[in-house]
Amino acid sequence: MNETESLKILEKKIGYSFKDRKLLEGALTHSSYANEILTGSREDYERYEFLGDAVLELSVSDFLFKNHVEMREGEMTKMRASYVCEQTLAMCARAFSLQEHIRLGRGEEAQGSRKRDSIVSDVFEALIGAVYLDGALDEAKRFINEFVLKDIDTK
């Protein structure tokens, strides 16, 4: 499957079509791919991850605040931490096979990095950042509600 097909498949899985496909490509690009394949390009997922992490924390905080009025601040903080931790996010990402769409360099691919929770969860946050940049907060919150918060008690 070529990259264009992979991106279209991912968009279908997440129910969002990017207006600016470069945002999606950036969110899926590991620095090893950028360095090896894109000949030194600095465009990788790390900046998107930074933004996606903030959007995720805001969205989860909003959800907990509105849906758990009985909780005190400390309880909400602990619950939010469990929702946005590496293991939980990697599990949420694997539910729609995000790991299959990550653009890795040859060395990282050979090391099995596609299976590492740290990379999968980072790319998941980067994808949230890309959705936010492309479609604004409402789209990012819809994505988070669908892939993180929906059925969170059973995850």
Percent of the chain at pLDDT exceeding 90? 83
Give me the mean pLDDT over the 1-20 stretch. 93
Those residues with Cβ within 8 angstroms of residue 104's Cβ, 6 or more apart along the chain or in another chain? 30, 32, 33, 113, 114
User: Average pLDDT in the 11-39 region?
Assistant: 90
Residue 40 has pLDDT above 60, yes or no: no
> Do 70 and 142 touch, CB atoms closer than 8 A?
no
Identify the weakest region by mean pLDDT among 58-62, 72-76, 114-118, 149-153. Answer: 149-153
**CA 95/CA 124 separation, integer angstroms:** 11
CB contact set of 110 (below 8 Å; sequence gap of 6+)? none
Provide the mean pLDDT of the chain: 93
Q: Which comes out higher in pLDDT, residue 27 or 153?
A: 27
The number of C-alpha atoms within 13 Å of 57 and in the hemisphere containing its C-beta is 9
- Average pLDDT of the segment spanning 21-50: 86
With 90 as the cut, is the pLDDT of residue 93 above it?
yes
Which tokens in the block code for residue 22? 């470069």
Q: Is 53 among the residues known to form the active site?
A: yes
Residue 155: its pLDDT value, please? 64
61: helix, strand or coil: helix
Neighbours of 113 (CB within 10 A): 18
3-state helix, strand, coil in the chain (%, to 5): 75, 0, 25
Largest Cα separation within the chain, whole Å, is 53
Which position among 49, 108, 125, 134 bears the catalytic label?
125
pLDDT at 129: 98
pTM equals: 0.94
Q: What span, in angstroms and rounded, lies between the C-alpha atoms of 80 and 64?
A: 8
Q: Is 125 a catalytic residue?
A: yes
Stretch among 44-58, 80-94, 140-154 having the lowest mean pLDDT = 140-154
The confidence score (pLDDT) of residue 31 equals 87
Q: What is the pLDDT of residue 18?
A: 98
103 φ, ψ to 5°? -95, 105
Set 49, 53, 122, 134: catalytic member: 53
**So what's the pLDDT on residue 43?**
83
